[in-house]
């Protein structure tokens, strides 16, 4: 049960209620095909794990149910969509403000450490 407890601590309900409305919507691929969108909370939690632990994307534990490639694509997509700054602004005055600020700061550092490619399609 430790993995589920960790996931709940990484993205508590209060934090998720601020994050969810800020996430870009799922867009199908123009050429068709692809896969159905993943559970966004699970994907966001996987990204927060990488950001807060400092581990490499390829070290993302499999129990998140999200591949490292998908987590990194979403991180890139969300960074291009300015999610981290939007999240910081939405969190002002909320109980999770400090934790969200820490996550956003880690996202900014991670994005600045390596140039991001063009925003990927949110198909996985």
Q: Whole-prediction pTM value? A: 0.78
pLDDT-derived band of residue 1, with 50, 70 and 90 as boundaries? very low
CB burial of residue 66 (10 Å; 0-12, 13-18, 19+): buried
pLDDT digits (tens, 9 = 90+) for 78-122: 999 999 889 888 888 877 666 777 888 888 888 877 655 555 554
- Classified as helix, coil or strand, 26 is coil
Give the C-alpha distances (Å, rounded to integers) separating 95 from 20, 83, 100.
Answer: 16, 19, 10
């Amino acid at each position: 049960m430790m993995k589920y407890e960790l996931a709940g601590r990484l993205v508590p309900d209060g934090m998720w209620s601020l994050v969810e409305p800020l996430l870009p919507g799922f867009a199908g691929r123009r050429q068709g095909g692809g896969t159905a969108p993943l559970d966004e909370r699970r994907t966001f939690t996987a990204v927060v794990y990488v950001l807060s632990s400092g581990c490499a994307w390829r070290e993302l534990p499999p129990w998140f149910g999200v591949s490292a490639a998908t987590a990194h694509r979403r991180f890139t997509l969300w960074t291009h969509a300015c999610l981290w700054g939007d999240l910081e602004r939405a969190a002002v005055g909320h109980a999770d403000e400090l934790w969200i600020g820490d996550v956003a700061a880690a996202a900014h550092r991670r994005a600045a450490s390596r140039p991001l490619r063009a925003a990927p399609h949110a198909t996985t």
